[in-house]
């Protein structure tokens, strides 16, 4: 297979993986975001209960359109760029774990540049507690309002934090999964790797990456989301937000949303990798 066809397969498989993962895991992403917003009270169960009672089942799908629009190309570009960077860093003198980790980190940085505006809109939509699902402003109107009030930089608010968060997550995720995957023996049915083991590794990789970057995730939500006092930007940069949250709310506040994040990106990480590899291998046989 030539490089153009191979790249097309990687992009199609990555986009499919992103679409499936978002549709399955969106409710947990809503809960995670709300737990990390400064005005949120209560734990995981309380957040789930109040969201359902006040907004119904559709309340868990607020902010769904931006990640569908963003994560399909985001995952497509992320898996494609991972394969390209893996080729760049593959060297007999570089340990495989470092190759996979560096490739994952740079693929995460690339995808962050693509999805930052969608993240700002998604978090804004997910934070609206007193608006019915069907009454929310559309993505287009919300983007227009943000640009009108803050200028073009408003939809790229928090980009440095998003770059750091995505870089760390993907470095751990890809570094762990592909290093461990090399040790999985082929299944008895054929030459492919054991799918149960791949699902387990994907789950561990997603959970480990999520636990590693939760403080950065909290910072991103605080910076991109609504501020405690309207018109006054309290959370401005990564280190300023880390320090401020720690001083005002303690260390535990930097790990708010850990449970739903791991519940989403643990199985979500497994879904993405298995779907990606399955679709990619299927496409290769067709082309």
pLDDT (tens digit, 9 = 90+) per residue, 219-246? Answer: 999 999 888 787 788 999 999 999 999 9
Residue 166's pLDDT is what? 92
- CATH number of the domain that 216 lies in? 1.50.40.10
What are the beta bridge partners of residue 142? Answer: none
Do 16 and 275 meet the contact criterion of CB atoms below 8 Å apart? yes
Domain that holds residue 138: 3-286
Q: Give the global pTM.
A: 0.79
Rounded alpha-carbon distances, angstroms, from residue 211 to 129, 204, 237, 257, 268: 26, 10, 21, 10, 14
Q: What is the DSSP code string of 196-262?
A: HHHHHHHHHHHHHHHHHHHHHHHHHHHHHS--SSTT-----SHHHHHHHHHHHH-GGGGGTTHHHHH
Q: Quick one: pLDDT at residue 191?
A: 46
Looking at residue 250, its pLDDT comes to 92
pLDDT at 217: 92
102 neighbors 89 (Cβ within 8 angstroms): yes
Could you write out the DSSP letters of every residue in 142-209? HHHHHHHHH-GGGGGTTHHHHHHHHHHHHHHHHHHHHHHHTTPPBPTTSSSBPHHHHHHHHHHHHHHH
Question: Torsion over CA of 247, 252, 255 and 258, rounded to 10 degrees?
Answer: -160
Contact present, 269 and 206 (Cβ < 8 Å): yes
Residue whose C-alpha is closest to residue 10's, from 279, 286, 285:
279
First to last CA, the chain: 8
pLDDT in tens, the chain (287 residues): 577 778 888 888 888 888 888 888 888 888 888 887 755 557 888 888 888 888 888 888 888 887 787 777 777 888 888 989 999 999 999 999 999 999 999 999 988 888 888 888 888 888 887 777 777 788 888 889 889 888 888 889 999 999 999 999 999 999 999 999 888 876 655 545 678 888 888 889 989 998 999 999 999 999 998 887 877 889 999 999 999 999 999 999 999 888 888 877 788 888 888 888 888 888 877 76
Cβ proximity of 61 and 126 under 8 Å: no
Q: How many domains does the chain have?
A: 1
Q: Calculate the alpha carbon distances from 29 to 130, 165, 170, 185, 221 in Å.
A: 18, 16, 18, 34, 12
Alpha carbon 98 to its chain centroid, in Å, reads 22
Report d(CA 272, CA 15) in Å as an integer.
Answer: 10
pLDDT score at 90: 92
């Amino acid at each position: 297979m030539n490089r153009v066809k191979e790249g097309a397969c990687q992009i199609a498989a990555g986009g499919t993986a992103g679409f499936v993962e978002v549709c399955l895991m969106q409710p947990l992403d809503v809960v995670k975001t709300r737990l990390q917003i400064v005005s949120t009270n209560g734990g995981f169960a309380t957040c789930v209960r109040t969201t359902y009672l006040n907004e119904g089942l559709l309340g868990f799908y607020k902010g769904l359109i931006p990640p569908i629009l963003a994560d399909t190309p985001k995952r497509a570009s992320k898996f494609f760029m991972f394969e390209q960077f893996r080729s760049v860093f593959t060297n007999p003198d570089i340990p495989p774990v470092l190759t996979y980790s560096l490739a994952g980190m740079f693929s995460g940085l690339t995808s962050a540049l693509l999805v930052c505006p969608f993240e700002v809109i998604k978090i804004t939509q997910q934070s609206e507690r007193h608006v019915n699902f069907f009454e929310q402003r559309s993505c287009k109107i919300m983007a227009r309002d943000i640009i009108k009030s803050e200028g073009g930089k408003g939809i790229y608010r928090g980009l440095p934090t998003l770059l750091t968060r995505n870089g760390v997550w993907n470095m751990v995720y890809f570094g762990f999964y592909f290093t461990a995957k090399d040790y999985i023996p082929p299944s008895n049915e054929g030459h492919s790797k054991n799918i149960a083991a791949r699902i387990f590794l994907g789950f561990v990789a997603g959970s480990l990456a999520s636990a590693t970057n939760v403080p950065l995730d909290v910072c991103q939500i605080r910076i991109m989301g609504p501020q405690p006092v309207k018109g006054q930007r309290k959370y401005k940069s990564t280190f300023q937000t880390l320090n401020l949250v720690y001083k005002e709310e303690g260390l535990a506040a930097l790990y708010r949303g850990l449970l739903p994040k791991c519940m989403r990106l643990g199985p979500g990480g497994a879904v993405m990798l298995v779907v990606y590899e399955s679709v990619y291998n299927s496409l290769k046989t067709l082309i």
